Amino acid sequence: MGQYSLSKSRKILEWAYGWYKKKGDTLNDTDLVTFESDMENLDHAYFKKDQAEASRLAHKVEDFTHAHFKKSIWQYLTEVLTALVFALAIAAVIRSSWFEPYEIPTGSMRPTFKEQDHLTVSKTQFGINVPLKTDHFIFEPDDVQRNGIVIWSGDGVALGDTDTSYFGVIPYKKRYVKRLIGKPGDTLYFYGGKIYGIDEKGKFIEELVSTPGLEKIEHIPFLSFEGFPSSPSKGVVLVEHMHQPIGRLSLNRKGELVGEIYSNNEWVIDRPAAAKAPHDQIKTLSDFWGIGNFAMARLLTREQVKAYPDLDTKNLESAPYYLELIHHPSLTYPRPYLARQIPTLQMMLNPLHTLIPVQQAQVQALMDNLYTARFEVKNGIARRYGVNEVAYSQLNPQLPGVPDGTYEFYYGKAYKVGFGGITSELPKDHPLYSPSNLQTLYNLGIDFNKYFEPTPQNTVLFPHRYAYFRDGDLYLLGAPIYKKGDPLLEKFVASEAAKEKESTDSRPYIAFKDVGAPIHDGKIDADFIRTFGINLGEKQYLVLGDNHAMSSDSRVFGFLPEENLQGVPSILLWPKPGLPNQPSYPLFTLPRLIVWTIAALIGLAWYFWRRYKLSKPVFKKM
C-alpha cells in the first residue's frame, strides 16, 4: 500500500466527507463514531503536515467509504451525465469563443492547407463570438486583414449541408476556411490572376497585388460558365454570379430567347459586340468584374480537333496538342443552351472557342508547372481523394502502370501521400511523370471525372483549368506558358484580332486578348474599377479559396456577412509545423485582451478560492 501525498490525502478526506453528509445517518453508532474520529484525525494530520499519519488515515477512510457507501445506478448515471454536460458546455464555450483545433477536410485551400492538415484556430483575433451562435459580443472590423485567412460560419450562407454538431450532441453550423480578399466598401476587379481594387475612399488596395508569399496564389472570377444560372421563376432564368443577378434569359411573345444584363440599375440587351471597342459602361455579360479576361482551357489532340465541327482549324500548324480556350460567355451570341424541364427552365451558357498550338516547349512547361487535386489510384483507375462514398467506376480516368496509392502534383512535382497526409516526392522515373499522362492529368486532374473529357458531344462541360493574360504573357497553371514575343503567341494574337475584325455585330467574335491591368501612368484607374468592378456593401466581405478550381467560395454564395467571421488559423501543427501563409495578425487586440483577462480572472478566482478552502478544516460534525 503506497503512501499518499498530503494533497491526495486531503482530496480523499473531501470525498469521504461528501459521503458522510449524504449518508452518514445510515451508519450504526459504532461505525459513525469511528468514521467521524478518523476524518477528524485526518484533518489534524493534514494541517500538521504529517504525511505518514495523513496517508495511513486516508487509506483507512477510503476503505471505510468504499465498504459502507454504495452509489445507486441512478446516482452514478446522474453524476456522469452532470459531468458530461458540464464538460461539453465548457468545451463548446472555449471552442466557440477562444480557440479550437481543426483538421482540413478538403483541398479548397491548397497549397496553403492540404487535406488532413491539422491546425489551431484563434477565435479572438477580431471579435468575441457568442457561443454556439453566428454572432459577436463585440467585433473590431479594423482588425480584419485583406489576404488574411479566416474561419467563418456557414449559417445563412447559400451552401448546402451546413448543419453539423459539436461532439454529435450540440447543434451547430459548419465552419469553413478561406482567404479574405475584400472588406466593406471595397470595389474589386479581376485581371491576370490577380485582384485590383480600391477601398471606400478610392485608395488603391496595394496589398492585394503585392503581398510577399502569395505570388503563386491565383484568383479567377468564376468556377465555370455552366454554373451561372439560378432557379428560374415564371419562365425567366436569372443568371447569378457572386450570388448576385447580373443577367436574365426569357422567352418573348414570339417565343424567341431574349438575353439581358443588369447594368446601371436597369435591364438592357446583352450586346457582346460592344467588347470589340473600348467602352465606359457594362454592355455585355463578360464585362462584369473582369470575366472577359479569363478563359477555361483544355488540351486536345489533332484527332479531337478534327472531330469538332465548330472549331476553326484553318492554317493550324502541326503540334502534339492544341489548347482550346473557352471565353466571353454572353446571353445573345452564341445562344445559351436552354432546355425546358418541368417545372423549370434550365440553362447553360455557350461561350466562344479558339485554339492555340501546344508545341514541345509548352508541353514541357505544362509538366513543369502541373498541379492536380489529391487523388487515389486503384488497379490503374484514379479518383479524387475524399470521394469515399463513390466507388471507382467507368467515369474515372485510367492511369496505366501507376501503382495503387494516394498521390498529388504540385508545381510540377509528383508526391505520394502516406499516413496522416505526410507526402514524399516521387522519383522522376515514376509512371506518373509519363508524357502520355499529361492530357489526362491536365483535363481531368481536378475532378477525375470523364464528364470533362473533350468529345464532340461535350461542348459545355469544361475542366476547371483556366487561362489568362498578364503583362503580355499567356498564363496556364499559374505560370507564363506562352511568353510575350513567342512566335506562337504573336500568331495567335494576330489571328484573334483578325477573327474579331471579320465578325459581324449580329454574330460577333470577341478576341481573347490582353486588355492590360487597370493601371495608367503608374496609377490605379479608379473610375474604371468603379465601372466594371464588384462593390461590397456595408458589413460584407469577399472570401476566396486559394485553390480556385476546387473552392465553393464567394463566387458561389456571394458576400459573407460580418457576423459569420469567427476567427483565424494561428498555428499549423501537422504534418509540417509552422505558421500559415498569410500576413501576420497583431498579437494584442481588444477582443483577445478581453478574453484572456476574463480567463485570467477566472483562474485567479479559482486559485484564491482553493487556497482559502485548503486553509480551513474539512470535517464538521453533523
What does the DSSP assignment read for 416-447? EE-GGG-EEEPPTTSGGG-GGGHHHHHHHTTT
- Where among 455, 485, 519 does a domain terminate? 519
Whether residues 442 and 361 share a domain: the answer is: yes
> Cα(248)–Cα(240) distance, rounded to whole angstroms?
9
The overall average pLDDT reported for the chain is 91
Task: Confirm whether 277 is domain-assigned.
Answer: no
| Average of per-residue pLDDT across 306-320 | 78
d(CA 102, CA 149) in angstroms, rounded, equals 14
389 within a domain of the structure (yes/no): yes
Same domain assignment for residues 397 and 458: yes
Provide the grid cell at 276: 470589340
Enter the pTM of the model: 0.89
Q: Which of 8-17, 198-207, 314-323, 353-362 has the lowest mean pLDDT?
A: 314-323
Q: How far is CA 331 from the centre of its chain?
A: 30
Examine the domain organization and report whether 388 and 507 are in the same domain.
yes
Distance CA 62, CA 240 (A): 71
- DSSP of 251-271, one letter per residue? E-TTS-EEEEEEETTEEEE--
Cα separation of 558 and 597, whole Å?
36
Q: What are the grid coordinates assigned to 275, written together?
A: 467588347
pLDDT over 50 at 343, yes or no: no
pLDDT over threshold 70, residue 1: no
Spatial neighbors of 365 by CB under 8 A, at least 6 apart, are 479, 481
Contact in structure between 42 and 58 (CB atoms under 8 Å): yes
Confidence of residue 189 (pLDDT cuts 50, 70, 90): very high
pLDDT, position 91: 85
190: helix, strand or coil: strand
Amino acid sitting at position 457? Q
- Asked whether the predicted pLDDT for residue 451 surpasses 50, the reply is yes
Confidence band, pLDDT 50/70/90 cuts, at residue 255: confident
The pLDDT assigned to 347 comes to 65
Query: pLDDT value at position 620?
Result: 86
52 and 111 both lie in a single domain:
no
**Residue 312 predicted with pLDDT over 50:** yes
| Cα dihedral 89, 95, 101, 104 sign | positive
Q: State yes or no: pLDDT of 8 exceeds 90.
A: yes
- Within 8 A by CB and 6+ apart from 105, the residues are 115, 386
Q: What is the full DSSP assignment across 538-566? A: TTEEEEE-SSGGG--SHHHH-PEEGGGEE
Average pLDDT over residues 397-412: 95
* Domain end (from 476, 499, 519): 519
CB atoms near residue 563 (< 10 Å): 19
Q: Are residues 371 and 479 in the same domain?
A: yes
397/470 same-domain check: yes
Domain annotation covers residue 65: yes
User: Looking at 150-164, 182-196, 250-264, 501-515, which range is the least confident one?
Assistant: 250-264
Q: What is the mean pLDDT of residues 3-31?
A: 92
424 and 382 share a domain? Answer: yes
> Are 138 and 126 spatial neighbours (Cβ–Cβ below 8 Å)?
no
Classify residue 501 as left (phi > 0), alpha (psi -120 to 50) or beta.
alpha
Residues whose CB falls within 8 Å of the CB of residue 424, separated by 6 or more in sequence, listed in order: 415, 416, 418
Whether residue 435 is found in the same domain as residue 453: yes
**pLDDT at site 71:** 80
**172 and 137 housed in the same domain:** yes
Quick one: average pLDDT of 540-565?
Answer: 96
User: What are the φ and ψ backbone dihedral angles of 298, each rounded to 5 degrees?
Assistant: -150, 155
The answer to whether residue 303 is domain-embedded is yes
- Does residue 166 fall inside a structural domain? yes
Is the model's pLDDT at 562 over the cut of 90?
Answer: yes
User: Which CATH number goes with the domain that contains 585?
Assistant: 2.10.109.10
Check residue 334 and give its pLDDT.
Answer: 87
Residue 187: pLDDT band (50, 70, 90) is very high
Q: Are residues 57 and 121 in the same domain?
A: no
Strands 534-535 and 540-544: unpaired
- Domain span holding position 363: 287-519
Per-residue model confidence as pLDDT tens digits over 260-303: 999 989 999 999 999 999 999 999 999 999 999 999 999 999 88
Q: Quick one: pLDDT band at residue 315, thresholds 50, 70, 90?
A: confident
User: Are residues 325 and 193 part of one domain?
Assistant: no
Report the share of the chain in percent with pLDDT over 90.
71
pLDDT for residue 342 is more than 70 = no
> Does position 394 have pLDDT exceeding 60, yes or no?
yes
- The answer to whether residue 254 sits within a structural domain is no
Residue 338 confidence class, pLDDT cut points 50, 70, 90: low
Instruction: Name the least confident of 70-84, 289-303, 484-498, 602-616.
Output: 70-84
pLDDT tier at 166, thresholds 50, 70, 90: confident
pLDDT band at 316 (very low <50, low <70, confident <90, very high): confident
Which pLDDT belongs to residue 388? 61
Residues 6+ apart with CB under 8 A from 23: 69
pLDDT of residue 76: 83
Half-sphere exposure of 160 (CA within 13 A, CB side): 0
State whether 482 and 333 are in the same domain. yes
- Does 338 fall in a domain? yes
Q: Which of 221-230, 240-249, 420-429 has the lowest mean pLDDT?
A: 221-230
- Domain tally for the chain? 3
- Provide the pLDDT for residue 62: 92
Confirm whether 400 is domain-assigned.
Answer: yes
